[in-house]
A and B are shown apart, each in its own frame.
Chain A
């Protein structure tokens, strides 16, 4: 069965550094998403992406975040200047007309 794959599985970075989280969505899916889950808290919607542009974003997705689909297969989330509170599991997901399929997540630790 096709899968959403995310790399790396764990990323450690220093506060203020830029990070790029990578995702390869399922190939025939058209919608792409990022969600995050801070330890002990809810899974939270960050952004959805369709037809090469952001279709919806949450209040969390401020100017320090950006997404890109640079080459038709990868879907990336960039955090420009990481803060301690950005430490979380970041889940990429993709979908066609059906439910979302999630990757296994990248655990981001900001020190």
Chain B
């Protein structure tokens, strides 16, 4: 049951360019979305979130866009840095409940110097 889908298992980007990570969801009840970043041998680290009342949220180099009609969100990283190389997980929840999160499979981002 893939309620949250990250269709690209990996992405490679040149340093300084934009990284765009995509996420699709099927459950129209989802109203809160988060992006987590994970380095090897570490737990996921919260990056940025967006609630369904917004279509954009920005935090420094990271911007999340939400298209509710398409049930699609994306994470933009600009400019990308080698330290951004990690696995990025999209997660979603219902009723603004960030506690029970439904996760995508993750996209492994490699930023090349």
Contacts and interface: CB of A to CB of B under 8 A. Distances in A.
Interface of A: 4, 6, 31, 33, 35, 41-45, 48, 55-56, 58, 91, 93, 95, 98-105
Contacts of A93: 43
Contact size class for B?
10 to 19
15 contacts: A6-B43, A33-B99, A41-B105, A42-B103, A42-B105, A43-B44, A48-B99, A48-B100, A56-B99, A93-B43, A102-B45, A103-B43, A104-B41, A104-B43, A105-B42
Interface of B: 34, 36, 41-46, 49, 89, 91, 98-105
A42 B107 CA distance: 11
B103 A100 contact: no
B91 to A, nearest CB: 8
B99 A43 contact: no
B104 A105 contact: no
Given A4-B43, A43-B89, 20 more contacts: A6-B43, A41-B105, A42-B103, A43-B91, A43-B103, A44-B103, A45-B100, A45-B101, A45-B102, A58-B100, A91-B43, A93-B43, A95-B98, A99-B46, A99-B98, A100-B99, A101-B46, A102-B45, A103-B43, A105-B43
